A and B are shown apart, each in its own frame.
Chain A
Amino acid sequence: MIKNIKRHWMLLMMLLPALIYVIVFSYVPMTGIIMAFKKYQYAGGIYLSPWNGLNNFKALLISGKLFQVTRNTLLYNVAFIFLGVVFEMGSAILLNEILSKVFKKTVQSLMFLPYFISWVVAGAILYNIFNFERGVFNNVVTSLGGSPFDLYNTPGAWPILLIFLKLWKQTGYGSVVYLAAITGLDQEMFEAASIDGANAWQKIRYLTIPSLIPTMMILILLGIGNIFRGDFGLFYQTVKSSALLQPMTDVIDTYVFRLLIDNGNVGVSAAAGLYQSVLCFITIVVCNRLVKKANPDYALY
C-alpha cells in the first residue's frame, strides 16, 4: 500500500483537484441531508441548527403538493423518454435513408440548432409565438377569423406544449447517437437482405430497428434512472411563476426551488429534496439490477 502510494504519488496528485471537488460539492452536501430533520437557523447553519424531528416532512405532506409534483415529474419524464426514443430513432433512421447528401447535411444542421440555445432563449421564443396580445400564433388565428387563445390561462395545453418544446430542443442532438449506431451496423447484413429480395421498408423494420435496440435500451435506462428529476430550465423559464398553471406544470425541482428561494422555507425544501434524491437513487439501483439480470451488457454499472 505505502509502496504503491510512493510509486503513484504523482497520479494521486493529479486526481486530487477532482477529488476535492466532489468531496466539497457532492459528498459534504450529502451529509447536509440532515437539514431535512432540522429547523434551519441562520446562525446555526447546516450542522448546528436544532433538530426538528419529522416536522418538515409533516409540513410537506400537509401542503398536499407532494403527490402533484411527483406525478407531474414522473408523467413528463415518461413522455420525454418514450417520445424522445421515437423521435430520435425515427429521425436517425429517416436521415440515414435520405440519398441527397446536401439535403441530409442541411436538415441535420437545422435540427441541431435548438440544442445550442439556453432555456431563457426558448422562453423568448415561446413569448414571441404565444404572447396573448401580440404573439404570432394569435395573429394567425385571429386573421383566420378564430378567437385568440390564451395559453397562460389554459393549463391543459401545457403538457403538449412542454413535451413538444423538449422534443424540439433534444431531437437533433439525441438522434446523433442513433445515427452513429446505424453507421456502425454490418453492411453485409443489408446487402444479403437485398439479395433475398427485402425492400427498403422491410430492411428498416427487420434489420435497422432491431439492431438499434441495445442503444435504445441504454438510453431508456439512463432516462428511467432520472425519472424523478425534472428539467428545471424547461419548466422554470417557460412557466415562470404562474400559480394557475402549477397543477399541470409544477415538478419536484421547481417546487424545491420555490420553497427554498422564494419562500425561504429551508427545512421543508430540504425534506422535499431528500425525498427526490432517495426516489432517484432507488429507481436507478433497482432499474440497473433488473437490467443486469436480463442482460449484463446493457447495465449502467
Chain B
Amino acid sequence: MSADAVTLTPDRNMRLAEKKGTGSGKKRISRDQLSVNIVGAVFVGIFALLCVIPFYLIIVASFTSEASLIKDGYPILPRLAELSIQSYELCLKNPTAILKAYGMTIGVTGFGTFLAVMLATMTGYVLSRKDFPWRNQFSFFFFFTTLFNGGLVPWYLMCTRYLNLKNSIIGLILPLMFSVWNMIIAKSFMVGIPAEITESAKIDGANDITIFVKLILPLSKPLIATLSLFSALAYWNDWYNCMLFVTNEDMFTLQYYLQRILGSAEAMRIVAEKSGIALPSVPLEGMKMAMTIIATGPIVLLYPFVQRYFVKGLTIGAVKG
C-alpha cells in the first residue's frame, strides 16, 4: 500500500501537463486547464484562509493589553502600541494549576495512547489471522457495539457506580482506550501482511505472542504511527470525560481547565482566589485568549509533522474492514 503517494504528489495527469509545460514554455497549459486551476485556487484558497484566520485572531488578541481589549474589543490587526504579554504573565503568575493540567494531559495522553495502540493492534492481529477459526464471529461481536449501545445513562452508571472512575486517572484513560474503528483499521492493515510470515515463524516454533511482537509489530510501523496519532489527538483534546468524572481541581486536564477559564465567572474566581487581585480589575479577556493558545500550542505545533500520517491512516481506514 503506497500511502505515500496518496494525496501529496500530483496525479499522472498533472505530471504530464507539467512536463509539457517545462518542455515548451508555460503556454502549453490549455485555457480550460488554466480556468479550472484558477477557480480551484480561489475557492480552496478562500476556504484555507477561513481556516487559519481564527487562530490568527486569537494569537493577536492574546498579545494585546487588557485595557485595549476592554476599550476597543478584540483586534483584527495587531495594535502595535498595545502589544503586551500581560495576559500570559497572568496565566503563568500562578503556574501550578496550568502545570498540573499539562502534567495530567501529557500523562493521560502518553499512557492512554500506548494502551490504545497495543489493544487495537493486538485485537486487529488476531482477527486478521485467517487460521483463527472464530474470527468472523468475534469481528461481529466487536462491530455490533457500533450499531447499538445502551446510551449515556447505563454507561455513566457503569463508570461511576460500579467501576468507581470518579476522580481517578483511570477514568480519563479507560473511556478512550478501545475504539472498534481503530481495531478495524489495524485489522485491514494486517490482512495485507503476507500470511507466510506467520506460518513460517510457526514452523520455526515461535508462539503467537512472539510472532506478534517480534514480526508483526515491526512490519506495522505506519499503522502504529497512525493509530498513535489518532489516539493521542483524542486524549489530548478530551474534555468530556474530565467534565463527567473529575471534580478534583488537581486532576483537571488542559482542555477542561480551558473550558472552565472560558466560563467567565469561573475564571474570575480562580484568578481572584489565587492571586489576590480585586475582582473588577481582573484582566479576563486577554487571559481567555492566552489560555487558549497555551492549551492548543503543542498539538498545533506538532501538526505539520504528523499530518502526513493522518493522511496515511485515513487511507488505510478507507479499505473496508
Binds A, one of B86-94, B189-197, B272-280, B291-299: B291-299
A110 to B49, CA, bound (A): 8
Contact call B237/A118, Cβ cutoff below 8 A:
yes
**For B33, B156, B295, which residue has the most chain A Cβ atoms within 10 angstroms?**
B156
List the A side residues contacting B209 at CB < 8 Å.
10, 13-14
Q: Is the CB of A134 within 8 A of B74?
A: yes
- Decide yes or no whether A11 CB sits under 8 A from chain B: yes
Task: Kindly specify which of A57-65, A71-79, A135-143, A243-251 makes contact with the partner chain.
Answer: A135-143
CA distance A66 to B32 in the complex (A): 52
Let me know if B152 and A256 touch, CB within 8 A: yes
**Complex contact B307–A18 (CB within 8 A):** no
Q: A8-B133, A91-B44, A134-B285 are in contact. Are A201 and B73 (CB under 8 A)?
A: no
Residues of B within 8 A of A27 (CB): 145
Q: What would 9 A/B residue contacts be, using CB atoms closer than 8 Å?
A: A19-B138, A45-B161, A91-B47, A99-B10, A118-B238, A124-B258, A128-B58, A140-B76, A200-B35
Q: Indicate with 1 or 0, residue by residue over A235-258, a CB within 8 angstroms of chain B CB atoms.
A: 001001000000000000100110
Chain A interface helix/strand/loop/mixed = helix
Flag whether A266 is at the interface (Cβ < 8 A): yes
- How many A-B contacts if CB must be within 8 Å? 320
Q: Does B98 belong to the interface (CB within 8 Å)?
A: no
A172 contact from B40, B51, B180, B262, Cβ within 8 A: B51
Task: Give the distance in Å from the alpha carbon of A111 to the alpha carbon of B40 in the complex.
Answer: 14
Q: Say whether B314 faces chain A, with CB atoms less than 8 Å apart.
A: yes
Closest Cβ of chain B: how far from A52's Cβ, in Å? 14
A183 within 8 A of B: yes
In the bound assembly, the distance between CA atoms of A232 and B241 in angstroms comes to 12
For the complex, give the distance between the alpha carbons of A266 and B288 in Å. Answer: 34
What sequence of 0s and 1s flags, for each residue 25-61 of chain A, a beta carbon within 8 Å of any chain B beta carbon?
A: 1111111110100000000011000000000000000
Kindly identify which residue among A4, A15, A115 contacts B126, using a CB–CB cutoff of 8 Å. Answer: A15
Q: Does A224 contact B (CB under 8 A)?
A: no
**Is A110 within 8 A of B158, CB to CB?**
no
- Would you call A110 and B52 a contact (CB within 8 A)? yes
Which residues of the other chain, B, contact A233 by a CB distance below 8 angstroms?
A: 239-240
Which residues 115-169 in B have Cβ within 8 Å of A in the complex?
Answer: 119, 122-123, 125-127, 129, 132-133, 138, 140-143, 145, 147-158, 161-163
Asked whether B224 is an interface residue with its Cβ less than 8 Å from the other chain, the reply is: no
